[in-house]
Amino acid sequence: MQQMNRGIITALTSIGIAQAAKIWTHHKNTGEWDVKQLATTGGMPSSHSAGVASLASYIAANKGSRHTETALAVIFGVIVMYDAQGIRRHTGEIAKLVNELEDNVAQLSVDFPTLPFQEREKELKELLGHQPLEVLGGAILGGILGVCSARIEK
């Protein structure tokens, strides 16, 4: 029986650990234990960052920093982390503004009954991306797990 690719296992494990850690960080911030954090986007630490950083550090520890596979993993990781804290975070901020705008229009429709308004069933999801510190936390977690995985393998 052939073994699964160790880099994939390392990255998926890092993502899982980062998602599980969100339960603890959510509790630390809110005082509430919420298992739903396992399936959320956003939050501390970034599982996107943990996954790509663990893969890049695992490859670098095995192949060396000058290998093409390391370069590919690092560039892929930088793009993913930039997207997580940039574009996706800004999309979440826009969703928050749209939700607030809808609340304001709903209030206006109460004050002005002739104003047509139909409320959406669900608000837009606001927590899509990450703050830079959340990306850094995921990258550090992933980097450590990637190096540890490479050392365990050797």
Lowest mean pLDDT among 41-45, 56-60, 149-153: 41-45
- Would you state the pLDDT for residue 17? 96
Mean pLDDT of 132-139: 92
Tell me: pLDDT of 60 over 90: yes
Phi then psi for residue 51, to 5 deg, are -65, -50
- Would you state the pLDDT for residue 43? 82
Which is more confident, 95 or 47?
47
* pLDDT bucket at 126, cuts 50 / 70 / 90: low
Q: Which of 50, 62, 40 is nearest to 13 (CA)?
A: 50
Give the C-alpha separation, 37 to 45, whole Å.
11
User: How many Å is the Cα radius of gyration of the chain?
Assistant: 20
Lowest mean pLDDT among 27-41, 42-56, 63-77: 27-41
Are the C-beta atoms of 114 and 25 separated by less than 8 Å? no
Q: Which of 136, 147, 134, 145 is nearest to 37 (CA)?
A: 134
Tell me: pLDDT of 81 over 60: yes
